[in-house]
Amino acid sequence: MHRAFFFLVATTAFSAWNAALHAQTPDWMFALEGAYIGRYEVPDPSGLKDELTSDARLDGRRNLSENGFVLQWMIEGESGVVETLSTWHWKEGQMCETEIVDGRPAEVCWLLHGQTNHAVVLRRGGEWEGQAMLFERTVERLPGQLRITDQHNNGDGTWRFHHGFVFEEMKPEASKR
User: Nearest CA to 36 among 172, 168, 166, 174?
Assistant: 168
From CA 54, how far away is CA 130, in angstroms rounded? 27
Query: Could you read off the pLDDT of 12-38 as tens digits, one per residue?
Result: 333 333 434 445 788 899 999 999 999
CATH 2.40.128.20 fits 2-175, yes or no: yes
What pLDDT is stored for residue 23 in this prediction? 55
CB 125 within 8 A of CB 111: no
**Cβ count near 52 (within 10 Å):** 15
110-160 tens-digit pLDDT: 999 999 999 999 999 999 889 999 999 999 999 989 999 999 999 999 999
Residues of the chain with pLDDT > 90: what percent?
64
Which sequence spans correspond to the domains of the chain? 2-175
Task: Kindly report the number of other CB atoms within 10 A of residue 39's CB atom.
Answer: 17
176: pLDDT confidence band, cut at 50, 70 and 90?
low
Residue 8 pLDDT > 60: no
Run of H or E including 175: helix 172-175
pLDDT computed for residue 60 by the predictor: 96
Tell me the per-residue pLDDT of 33-64, one tens digit each, with 9 for 90 and over.
999 999 999 999 888 888 899 999 999 999 98
Is 0.75 surpassed by the pTM of this model? yes
Cβ atoms of 71 and 58 within 8 Å: the answer is yes
Q: What is the reported pLDDT for 5?
A: 42
